Structure 1
Amino acid sequence: MEKAPIKRSTYVVTLSRDHHSGLLFCWKIKEGIKRDISFERLNNYIRYFWEGHLNKHFQEEEILLFNQIRHELTEQALMEHVQLKDLFLRISSSGLDHKEDYLFFTEFLTAHIRFEERRLFPFLESALSEALLSGIRDILAKLHEPQFKDDYPDEFWLQHKDKPHTGSE
């Protein structure tokens, strides 16, 4: 039986939307791997997503949420952010060497998102005051105008084999 989607409070729903984008990002990378898309094209997309969206998302979580309370769950989230940032930097500088490395990367990011949604956010919503959470919600709403749109032009996840991207596709 499939789990029902988590009903998120309005306080961090903006970050949950970001998480949906992150899960879709992981799916696209996995589809690219299945379709034998070159590592260079995957790296370009990963760099685009990191620089245009995920790096900012990590900063927002760390500053607005994780720093509000010291707890093993926030410490785990911070540690995983460091590990994920290291992977992004490695990909940005030299790429990864094997399909398995990309799959590990996507599985790690997916597990991190699930951890935040299923364990960390519910904990924070119960541990932090309503006034603080309301303030965080308002800041996030302002920071996300407009919302991130993944409009990467090379839709490699839809192609059946690797072919050079011309930009007119």
Structure 2
Amino acid sequence: MKRHEALHPLSHHHHHTLVMAQQLKNADDKASIQQMTRDVINFWQHDGEDHFRDEEEVLLPLYAQYETVDIPEIQEMLIQHVQIRSYVQQIRGTQRKDRQIFRNLGELLQKHVRLEERVIFPMIEQAIPENYLYQANGRFHRDTYSGF
């Protein structure tokens, strides 16, 4: 899917997220719960948390200057942000983890990226003037996985 150049950093973050999601969805009896826990925490601390901030504190407020954010697609996006944060907190805080929590997080991450890439970002690209998209780009964090 062709993405506006200014949103490339967020799309690169999404690629990293899809790699993580696939690993989590494939969590079987051979997968180390300790390693998956470390991977989720590392992913969240270095990229996931900042990515959500980029969207919630930079991109959506900019979008709100041109279109209403009180729509089901944006509501679903933000609800998913809360759900993902909740899974990460559960993984951080629970001593005895079930592999299903990792699979559930992987499914949600994949669903979330698809929503943003297929629905949210096209709406944003259409609504926000190009020069303002470029200005927002300068405020996005750099992903440790891709360097974007």
* Corresponding residue of 1:71: 70
Q: Which amino acid aligns with 2:15?
A: H
Letter matched to residue 14 of structure 1: P
- Among 33, 36, 47, which residue is 1:39 paired with? 33
Q: TM-score, normalised by structure 1?
A: 0.75
Unaligned runs of 5+ in 2: none
Letter in 1 for 2:32: S
> Which of 11, 16, 21 is the matching residue for 2:16?
21
Q: Which residue of 2 aligns with 1:108?
A: 108
- Spell out structure 1 runs of 4+ moving beyond 4 A: none
Counterparts in 2 of 1:84-123, with a 5 A limit? Answer: 84-94=84-94, 97-123=97-123
CA-based RMSD of the aligned residues comes to 1.9
Seq. identity, %: 24
1:96 Cα deviation after fit: 6.6
Native 8 Å contact 1:30 1:106 kept in 2? yes
Tell me the distance in 2 between the aligned counterparts of 1:76 and 1:30: 21
- Higher helix share goes to which structure? 2
- SS of residue in 2 equivalent to 1:23: helix
Q: How does 1:132-143 map to 2 (within 5 A)?
A: 132-140=132-140, 143=141
Equivalent position to 1:11, from 6, 9, 32: 6
Unpaired segments of 5 or more residues in structure 1? 1-5, 151-169
Shift of the alpha carbon at 1:34?
A: 3.1
Rg bigger for which structure?
1
Q: Kindly tell me the number of residue pairs found equivalent between the two proteins.
A: 140
Secondary structure, counterpart of 2:137 in structure 1:
helix
Structure with more contact order per residue of length (Cα contacts < 8 Å, sep ≥ 6): 2
